[in-house]
């Protein structure tokens, strides 16, 4: 069933859709009165609706039922990801949303090859947020995960340290595997921090550990920068009962 996000609650049992989504419903999906659609209030509630009026400017729907969104995990995971080259970050955002991430924060680290200027970052951020929204629709999320503005490495560490479980993925870590860091723990809020193609600099690893993050290993194989955060996110979702 088609799914769309709205920023409203039902009024008199009705919900309205305007803008691009209304145009998509009327012109692309060619929905008409009597067709079914799911609307989500972006706060975890789904509304099963029937279309009563459809035009490219406005779609009006009658609410038949409301339920808690089944696609939202009960563990809040924020992914802090160093900016990689090319369009890898788009892939990471899309797949992280599908896996259940709550928030994605890009950051710049010492070995980032990609260093877009402020104007380019704003343009990229708009695209990343659109990708997150489309992924959330496709996979049945109850809200659209936030894609934050890019921050410096130190700020990323400071934010990540606020989570109850804060993990820093470091290729030189030999003692603490990911499973050992989270196994048996109740995972409520989790921060995952992944590096760029060249990994983290030694001083960055020290800063992260001094800031309260736990350095962990993702195994003996070296994972690409776009693979590592998704593998870690999948493990966290599995261990927390959300996968």
What does the pLDDT look like over 132-163, one tens digit per residue? 999 999 999 999 999 999 999 999 999 999 99
Using pLDDT thresholds of 50, 70 and 90, give the confidence band for residue 100: very high
Q: How do residues 75-96 score in pLDDT, each as one tens digit? A: 999 999 999 998 999 999 999 9
pLDDT at 70 over 90: no
Using pLDDT thresholds of 50, 70 and 90, give the confidence band for residue 229: very high
Averaged pLDDT of the chain: 94
| Residue 59: how many other CB atoms lie within 10 Å | 25
Q: In whole angstroms, what is the distance from residue 51 CA to residue 66 CA?
A: 15
Percentage of residues in the chain with pLDDT exceeding 70? Answer: 100
The whole-number pLDDT of residue 72 equals 92
Q: What is the mean pLDDT of residues 47-71?
A: 94
The whole-number pLDDT of residue 43 equals 84
Tokens of 92: 């990471």
The whole-number pLDDT of residue 71 equals 87
The whole-number pLDDT of residue 106 equals 97
Using pLDDT thresholds of 50, 70 and 90, give the confidence band for residue 65: very high
Q: How far apart are the first and last CA of the chain?
A: 22
Helix locations, the chain, DSSP H:
19-23, 88-99, 118-139, 153-160, 178-182, 202-210, 228-239
The DSSP 8-state label assigned to residue 142 in this structure reads: S
Tokens of 69: 């969104």
Residues 6+ apart with CB under 8 A from 203: 110
Q: How do residues 14-31 score in pLDDT, each as one tens digit? A: 999 999 999 999 999 999
pLDDT at 1 over 90: no
The whole-number pLDDT of residue 184 equals 80
Q: Is 111 helix (H, G, I), strand (E, B) or coil?
A: coil
CB 191 within 8 A of CB 163: yes
Tokens of 91: 């892939």
């Amino acid at each position: 069933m088609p799914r769309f996000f709205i920023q409203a609650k039902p009024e008199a049992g009705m919900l309205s859709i305007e803008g691009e989504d209304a145009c998509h419903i009327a012109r692309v999906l060619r929905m008409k009165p009597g067709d079914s659609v799911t609307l989500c209030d972006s706060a975890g509630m789904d509304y099963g609706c029937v279309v009563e009026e459809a035009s490219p400017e406005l779609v009006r729907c009658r609410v038949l039922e409301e339920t808690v969104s089944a696609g939202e995990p009960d563990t809040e995971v924020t992914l802090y990801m160093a900016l990689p080259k090319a369009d890898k970050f788009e892939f990471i955002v899309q797949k992280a949303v599908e896996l259940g991430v709550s928030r994605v924060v890009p950051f710049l680290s010492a070995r980032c090859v990609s260093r877009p200027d402020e104007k380019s970052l704003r343009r990229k951020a708009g695209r990343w947020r659109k990708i997150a929204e489309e992924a959330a629709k496709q996979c049945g999320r109850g809200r659209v995960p936030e894609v934050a503005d890019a921050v410096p490495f130190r700020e990323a560490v400071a934010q990540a340290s606020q989570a109850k479980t804060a993990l820093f993925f470091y290729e030189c870590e030999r003692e603490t595997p990911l499973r050992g860091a989270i196994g048996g723990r109740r995972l409520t809020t989790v921060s995952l921090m992944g590096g760029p193609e060249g990994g983290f600099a030694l001083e960055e690893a020290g800063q992260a550990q001094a800031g309260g993050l736990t350095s962990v290993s993702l195994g003996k194989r070296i994972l690409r920068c776009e693979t590592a955060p998704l593998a870690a996110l999948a493990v966290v979702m599995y261990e927390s009962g959300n996968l």
